[in-house]
Amino acid sequence: MADEIIITNNFEESALPLTEGCRLPVRMRNLDETLLAEILSIKEALGGETLYYVHYIDFNKRLDEWVGKDRLDLTKVQQPKKEVKTPLKEIKNGSRPCSPEREMPAKEEPIQILQNGNAPPKKSTAGRKRKFPGPADEITASDSKDAAPSPRTTGSLVAHHDDLITRMKNIEMIELGGHMIRPWYFSPYPQELVSLPCIYLCEFCLKYMKSRVCLKRHMAKCNLRHPPGNEIYRKNSISFFEIDGRKNKVYAQNLCLLAKCFLDHKTLYYDTDPFLFYVMTELDNSGFHIVGYFSKEKESTEDYNVACILTLPPYQRKGYGKMLIEFSYELSKFEGKTGSPEKPLSDLGLLSYRSYWSETILEILINVKPTEAGERPQITIQEISEQTSIKKEDVISTLQYLNLIHYYKGQYIITLTKDVLEAYERAVAKRATRIDSQALHWTPKDWSKRGKNCALFWVPLLDKVYPVSIKLWCRHSDIGFSFKFNPYGGKEEKTDLSLALRMNDIHGFLSAIENPQQHRIKLRRILFWNFKLEFAKRTLD
């Protein structure tokens, strides 16, 4: 205690105050030793105490935290280095003038920062995905002094550009069911919730609320006791639910907001339509409680079978992560494909996948039997990939990681050492629960066919021609498009209308037909791919 008082006095007498960018030893939570850390932000607490948001050098950002002055070692402060500009030399008489390239000042790129929890817009608008949340204003170096200071680009901020925006945790605590969870990373929850000491989530619909009173009021009205969607797997207390991001948009967005608290390498998007979500739950008397989930694109050009994967912190180190991975590959087996997780993987995700790949591939290698001629067992990389649905590149990288591939007498051989076999037996003994393919009731869908455009033809019944204005809604854009046309005369002639619709929009189209206010034509039939819908001389007006 006396040492801490001496340190504080030294700090107060020092002429160099602590600023953003300073590096100094900091005592980490639940540890007696100090680690080198960088100050990323400084704020005043409600009681007047100064708090410092620090990032521990060479450690993951999930360990970043707010600390008080009592946890700082103020005797070893490293001030941030100032940028040194090279002075321009005066041009003497007779010397060559500067070239135009040297005379032109470097154009300063505007620095985009976070304001009110909103991420700045990207320059390119290509692609279907939209960032969550909405755009924010750009702050440039030429703005007024009252503008918020631009974030530093040192320490943990150099990983990727998004770190400039989301470098600090913005949520203190989350209550989910009976668990109090401390988030690891930034998540764009509404600004009015971020300032609260805790955010309360309904564990079934994942709706977020500002108080426990609001949560109790919501639970009295919430009818869900399991995730929305179809239950496609159940064995004992473990279930998996398949959720379509288009049909259950609100739940999918709430799930992504929760997951972003624990995933730093992913970007959050509004558009959940192209994704399927597979939520793993644990059943008890009160309902199906979320354990973790993974998402995948309905159509992946890179053959990814996982986009994001997460086991919630209260359920980690219990084998659920490997069950999620195993389930994703079980779906790939049903589809008859090989798959791989979307890159980059987090540090914990990479460890989980390497462990699963190692155990699965070793299980195949150990069970390979010798040939009938008594020769040594033989197997190819392609055969391993087909049996496990693990992509060939991941099989090769795993064999190299385990140091099992060797070049011997002009060919590659796989050597299983005693240490490798013992490590495999220990790992298998820890996996008490495995995915049972017999408990999976699921039929894969060909999303490429379901999304193709098809033609729609109208055939008028009367000889007279009436102008028609029809409003349709496309499922991906939610924007109304108006189509106007004049049908040709005659019973059997096709009109000049050929609208591009998606098969899933047939119900939306029929509901538009049911509204007769703008329709002044009689129809006999509509040809929609191989579907025929009969309208027996039905007058729409």
Per residue, the 3-state secondary structure of 475-497, as one string, reads CCCCCEEEEEECCCCCCCCCCCC
Active-site residue 342, yes or no?
Answer: yes
Q: Are 227 and 249 in contact (CB under 8 A)?
A: no
* CA torsion through residues 434, 436, 439, 443, sign: positive
Q: Are 263 and 310 in contact (CB under 8 A)?
A: yes
How many whole angstroms separate alpha carbon 130 and alpha carbon 267? 10
CB-neighbour burial class of residue 63 (10 A; exposed 0-12, middle 13-18, buried 19+): middle
Q: Are 250 and 238 in contact (CB under 8 A)?
A: no
What count of other Cβ atoms lies within 10 Å of the Cβ of residue 183?
A: 20
How many whole angstroms separate alpha carbon 64 and alpha carbon 194? 17
Phi and psi, residue 306, nearest 5°: -145, 130
How many whole angstroms separate alpha carbon 359 and alpha carbon 382? 18
The angle that helices 347-366 and 320-335 make with each other, rounded to 10 degrees, is 60
Q: For residue 142, what is the DSSP state?
A: T
CB-neighbour burial class of residue 427 (10 A; exposed 0-12, middle 13-18, buried 19+): middle
Active-site residue, selected from the candidate residues 38, 203, 342, 359? 342
What is the radius of gyration, based on Cα positions, of the chain? 31
How many whole angstroms separate alpha carbon 479 and alpha carbon 276? 23
How many whole angstroms separate alpha carbon 441 and alpha carbon 84? 65
How many whole angstroms separate alpha carbon 300 and alpha carbon 48? 52
DSSP for 193-208, please give it: HHTSS-EEE-TTT--E
How many whole angstroms separate alpha carbon 20 and alpha carbon 35? 17
User: Which structure tokens are listed for 24?
Assistant: 């100094």
How many whole angstroms separate alpha carbon 134 and alpha carbon 457? 40
Coil, strand or helix at 317: coil
How many whole angstroms separate alpha carbon 265 and alpha carbon 185? 10
Residues identified as active-site = 342
